[in-house]
Structure 1
Amino acid sequence: MLRLIGGRLAQAAITLALLSFATFLLIGLMPGDPIDLAIAGDPRLGAEDAARLRALHGLDQPLLARYWAWATGALQGQFGFSRLFARPAAEVLGDALLASLALLLPATILSAAIGVTLGILAARRPRSGLDYTVNFIAFAGVSLPSFWLGILLVILFAVTLGWLPAGGPPDAPGIVPWLRHLALPMATLTVLGLASYARQTRAAMMEALRDPWIRTARAKGAGERAVVLRHALPNAAVPIITVAALDFATLVSGALVTEAVFAWPGMGKTIYDAILGNDYNLALLALLLSAAVTLAASLAADIAQIAIDPRVRT
């Protein structure tokens, strides 16, 4: 186990270093730079002002020298300022991360709980009306585009019925305004997310319920609840954990389309705005944080799979 963790941590460090260099290189090769954008926004700035600003911010240096300066500062915890927000990049990212967690964490938990429950119920009664209904919900959730479902929910609950706000962060403090503004985007992500859980759980549970030890447990008089939850579900949990790890990794990267539809200031929209605005510091920090959480979630999923099923170790 320690060898696995040590090896994966070394791989993660190399991956983050290569990703940071590739991202810095791609952003640096984009047409224009922050000084060009500043000149476009203020015609009073001339060529001498542009040269002075580039020298001040180190943009007149070669790309490799600029990357080395950024990487050295990042290793010391200095991530620079965000050009778009005129604030430290870590502060901007912290606000966006909290907004994404407030939206995506409950949606992920709800989708996992509902999807796993539906998958178990469908696997217990294959080819029944319940099984066909769960399959229909799962395929519909996989097939529906997030922006289309979000727009339908806005039209129904915000425009037609007027029960909920169409989007955006709440203007008033308190948990009730937050819940009202989170309801529609959370419902969108929950419906789309539970589909993968239901499909994976149904397939894994149907295979597990056909195994010989399930018949043995039933022959020994074990109740159906014990057979399903204590015997079948742990053996079917490996693919479910993989889906859960991928979902929890998106808690930091955000849901760009859903956040754009509901004007939610989360990580997805922040990363998108930072890349388009040539905000080097903010874009690099956000992408590296997303990659680090994805790698950590993958390692946690591997450890959980080994703990549940020791056969995975081989």
Structure 2
Amino acid sequence: MLAAHAHESYATGDMESAISGRRRAAKIWRELGEPLMEGDNLCRMMGSLISAGRDREAEEVSRAALEILEPLAPGPQLAFAYRTQAAQRMLQRDYAQALEWGEKAVAMAERFNDQETLVSAYNIFGCSLIQSDEERGCEYLEKSIALALDGGQQHLVFMAYANAGSACGEYYRFELADRYLAPGIAYTTERDYDHGRLYMMSLQALSHLYQGRWNAAADTALAVLDAPGRTSISHMATLVALGRLRTRRGDPGAMEALDKALELAEPTGSLQRIGPVRAARAEAAWLAGDAATTISEARAAYP
């Protein structure tokens, strides 16, 4: 019951309830002497922690889950734990380790016909390869999306589209990013999967910004900020888009947006979150002619 409630809480964007539910479920299973279910619930807490901007805690929880599950008999739960480690390494931009853990996840998921883990692992492969081998990266991303759509699980479809759009946008493959974000936003809009829709809209605002579509960037960013149910990571990305837009236009409120973005990003300890905020702040300082602050902001990007 707690696990099911946590799953639905995640789907509706209530990350705190999702985290609390998984934590309570893990505790109960531990007290009942069921390490398999304890480890599984800890693993599944990671996505909610990441969405809430609690990356350090996600790292601790995923490692704890792996320590519990590895001594047990292999199964889908261990495959998911390997996938969780791959995701953590990808988020920290350690792509070699992400691929290594992902290969372990795929091997075990195929052994136990675990489609959920396969969707995610293929997606991690694609995101990790997009910079060094775009063709192979896209092949894995497309494979992940097709498998997710075939399975019909909304959270997997959202994850597949969102990660693909995020990875491509981060490496300035904006045409590719838009190709993934547009159908992802349409899919989540049709199904009222609001926290997923808002996250992809925050990424779309950044894509609009970098391609010079400033009015579209502003409209998209403000729509996210005005919407209830946005997650911490959606809020961060939107504030970066808005802060950079205001900086480039010379509009007021640029540093107000970027100060709030930094407030949300720093506790994560994640390069994925901190890097874009510090880069935006460095740009603002550079355009203001403040070389010293430009350098200090750029150096602070690495937690």
Q: Which has the higher contact order (CA 8 A, sep 6+)?
A: 1
TM-score scaled to structure 1, two decimals? 0.28
TM-score, normalised to structure 2, is: 0.29
**Larger Rg computed on CA atoms:** 1
